[in-house]
Amino acid sequence: MNHFFKRYPNIKIKDYDLIFFPILQDEHFYLICINKKEQGYEVIDNIKVGRAVTNLYGGNVRKMKRHFVKYLKEKELTLLANKIKGFPVSYLSLRWQTFKNQTDCGIFLMRHMETYKGTLKNWTTQLRTERTGQKGQIDNLITKYVNVILTSHLNEKSHLILEEANSFYKKITTETISKIVIGESAGIEKQKRFKIPRTVQFLDDCRTSTKKAEEAKQNEETTDVVENRTVDASKG
C-alpha cells in the first residue's frame, strides 16, 4: 500500500467510502470490501455459499482487519482505525452467483470491483444467471480485462506487448490477404473448369429470356395444332 500511495499522493484513504481488498484463498479469488458508508465489512464472492460463511471467510476477514487497522494507526489515522475496527461482517447474496463455475473467480472479482457502488439497491453487473448465458458474458469480460491489463500504462512491459501485437497483426493481415488472393485465383480456375458464363444476367435479362422462351413454346404449340388440323382435313 505504501508503494501505491507514494505513486498517487493525492489519493487519501479517508476520502473514500469503499476500500477493496482482493483475497486469494486456496486458489480462489473473492473480495472483501470495507464499506464506510454502510459501516461494515462485506464479503463479495461469485460462489454461492451455504450457512458455513463464518467458517469459510471469518479467518481472513479478521486477519485483514487487524493488519489494516495497524496500518492506519501507523499513518496516524487513528480515528478511522478505531471506527472500522468495530464494523460487523456480512456476506452478500447475489442473483448471479454460481454453483458450478469455480474457474472464473478472478473475472467475477474484477467485475464486482468495477461495478459495486456500496449498496445492493440497483447494483447490477449485467451478468445473467449461471443457466441463462452467463458463460458467454464471462468470455467477453476475459477479452476485455486481458486487453486492459496488457496495454495499461501501469504495465511496465506494455510497450513490448504492443510491439509484438502490431507485428502479429501485420503478419496475420498479410496471410489473410494472401489467402484471399489465392482463394480468388482458385475461384477463377473453378469457373473455367465448370464453364461458368462470364456474363451476368440481371433481372431484366432474365425476364426477357423467360418471355422469349414462353413465346417460342406457344409458337411451337400453335404449329402442332395447325399440322394436326391439316392432317385431319386430308383424311376427310
Which is higher by pLDDT, 209 or 151?
151
* Direct distance between the N- and C-terminal alpha carbons of the chain, in angstroms, rounded to an integer: 119
What band does 212 get if pLDDT is binned at 50, 70 and 90? low
Burial 219-228 (b: 16+ CB within 10 A, else e): eeeeeeeeee
Q: 64, 29, 11, 32: which is closest to 145 by C-alpha?
A: 29
pLDDT for res 201: 41
The whole model's pTM is what?
0.68
What's the pLDDT band for 187 if we cut at 50, 70, 90? low
Q: Which residue has the higher pLDDT, 230 or 142?
A: 142
Q: What is the pLDDT of residues 56-78, one digit of tens each?
A: 888 889 999 999 999 999 999 99
Residue with the bigger pLDDT between 7 and 71: it is: 71
Of 118, 146, 103, 113, nearest in space to 40 by CA: 118
Mean pLDDT of the chain: 82
Checking if the pLDDT of 200 tops 50, the result is: no
219 has pLDDT over 70: no
